[in-house]
Amino acid sequence: MRVSVIVPTYNERENLEELFDRISKALNGYDFEIVIVDDDSPDKTWEKAQVLAEKYPVKVIRRQREKGLSSAVIKGFKEADGDVFVVMDADLQHPPEVIPKLLEAIERGAEIAIASRYVKGGKVKNWYWYRKLISKGAIMIGRVALPKIRHIKDPVSGFFALRKEVVENVALNPIGFKILLEILVKGKYQRVIEVPFTFGLRHAGESKLGKKTMLNYLKHIYRLMRWEGELDRLVKFMVVGLSGIIVNEAFLWLFVNIGMDKISANIPATEIAILNNFTWNDIWTFRDLKTKPLYKRLLNFHIAALTGALVQWIIYAVLVHLEVYYLLANLIGIGFSFIVRFLFNRHVTWG
Ligand SMILES: Nc1nc2c(ncn2[C@@H]2O[C@H](COP(=O)(O)OP(=O)(O)O)[C@@H](O)[C@H]2O)c(=O)[nH]1
Ligand SMILES: [Mg+2]
């Protein structure tokens, strides 16, 4: 097993020597190379790497036309000649001593091994509570929006290992900033293992990321949702929901006209609308996801409808109490109910 350690760099000159030294010690006994993908750094990181290449097994790629973290990693995949790729930062926030643990996980049968801040034993050093909150919140949004990464605690880590087959002939979008997220959604693999590690402090130089990152991240999630077809699903679910309103009204009208009183007529009309929605969602919105037997899907769909109605009513009551205009309050309630029902049905009824 030959290992290629891929390191994207931008102004990391002062970190290289310690990085190479610690990688070499950690991988003592392994057949490995280090692939530096530098975007023509003003501090001449590439030049320093070339000098150090006399002492360490380093391949230097100096990109003069392209820029960007993800595209640098993808370039590294193309140039690396190992069977297993390790991706890590240059600033020693990713301790090289963790690499053998990632490789062990790969040897145990995982195609992807993630150095994870958020599994038991993992940590981040010196982060204020709100920074952790933002980081965890961002991950939660991703996990809710993208079913494929639902079980992964740290899907945005920049430190991971994978078998080269995972990304071979896979079209990865270099615009996204979290390359691991892209790989977890589009790559070819069966099993992921997360290995705990402590995300340390930057050794030298300064961070290039920040500010625009959050917005870019949300855009990336949106693109991946479209790619996975999850956004289509959301739209279909909405169309079905609208059809349910029409069915509900039509049957209410019918039952009242054949002599039922207005209060009782609402119950069968609502049930028929629920059955209408279930049917369309079953043969259209979630047609590719029928794992549970019909009676269970039907039962869960009813639970979702009831939960949604309850959520709608609670939000309505609270907002009206807070003196929000009642029609607006109801609309907000409907919006939340919609999200709750979609997520419940997506992950439980057809999960
Ligand atoms: N090639 C390349 N590397 C980058 C770019 N932006 C950041 N990096 C590298 O990506 C790694 C992580 O960046 P860093 O600034 O430490 O991010 P932070 O840890 O989130 O603050 C470091 O090794 C950077 O040198 C880029 O545009 N091109
Ligand atoms: Mg860093």
Condensed to tens digits (0 to 9), the pLDDT of residues 277-326 reads: 999 999 999 999 988 999 999 999 999 999 999 999 999 999 999 999 99
Helix axes 230-257, 213-228, angle to 10 degrees: 70
Task: Say whether pLDDT at 138 is over 80.
Answer: yes
pLDDT score recorded for residue 211:
63
Residue 213 has pLDDT above 90, yes or no: no
Structure tokens, 348? 């439980």
Query: What pLDDT is stored for residue 313 in this prediction?
Result: 96
Which bin fits 116, alpha (ψ -120 to 50), beta or left (φ > 0)? beta
10 Å CB burial of residue 343 (0-12, 13-18, 19+) is: middle
Indicate if ligand 1 lies below 6 Å from the C-beta of 257.
no
Q: What is the mean pLDDT of residues 156-182?
A: 94
Q: What angle do CA 344, 348, 351 make, to 5 degrees?
A: 120
How far is C-alpha 271 from the chain's CA centre? Answer: 36
Q: Which of 46-55, 75-84, 103-112, 172-181 has the lowest average pLDDT?
A: 172-181
Ligand 1, atom 14, lies closest to the CA of: 207
User: What is the reported pLDDT for 212?
Assistant: 74
Cβ(131) – ligand 1 distance below 6 Å: no
- Does the beta carbon of 12 sit less than 6 angstroms from any atom of ligand 1? yes
CA of 159 to the centre of ligand 2 (A): 11
> Is the distance from the beta carbon of residue 291 to the nearest atom of ligand 1 less than 6 Å?
no
- Does any ligand 1 atom lie closer than 6 A to the CB of residue 10? yes
pLDDT-based confidence at residue 177 (cuts at 50, 70, 90): confident
Q: Which helix (H) or strand (E) holds 344?
A: helix 326-344
Asked if residue 207 has pLDDT above 90, the reply is no
The mean pLDDT of the chain is 95
Tell me the residue type at 244: G
Neighbours of ion ligand 2 (CB under 5 A): 89, 91, 93
Instruction: Write the residue with the smallest CA distance to atom 19 of ligand 1.
Output: 207
Contacts 24+ apart (CB under 8 A), 257-263: none
Ligand nearest to the CA of 209: 1
Q: Encode pLDDT of 53-66 as tens digits.
A: 999 999 999 999 99
For the record, the structure tokens of 171 come out as: 């079209």
Per-domain boundaries in the chain? 2-226, 230-349
Q: Is residue 111 in contact with ligand 1, taking CB distance under 6 Å?
A: no
In tens, the pLDDT along 219-276 reads 999 999 999 999 999 999 999 999 999 999 999 999 999 999 999 999 999 999 999 9
- Helix 213-228 to helix 129-145 angle (10° resolution) is 20
- Homologous superfamily of domain range 2-226: Spore Coat Polysaccharide Biosynthesis Protein SpsA; Chain A (3.90.550.10)
Look at residue 156 and tell me whether its pLDDT is greater than 90. Answer: yes
Q: pLDDT class for 344, splitting at 50, 70, 90?
A: very high
Please report the pLDDT score of residue 206 as a whole number: 86
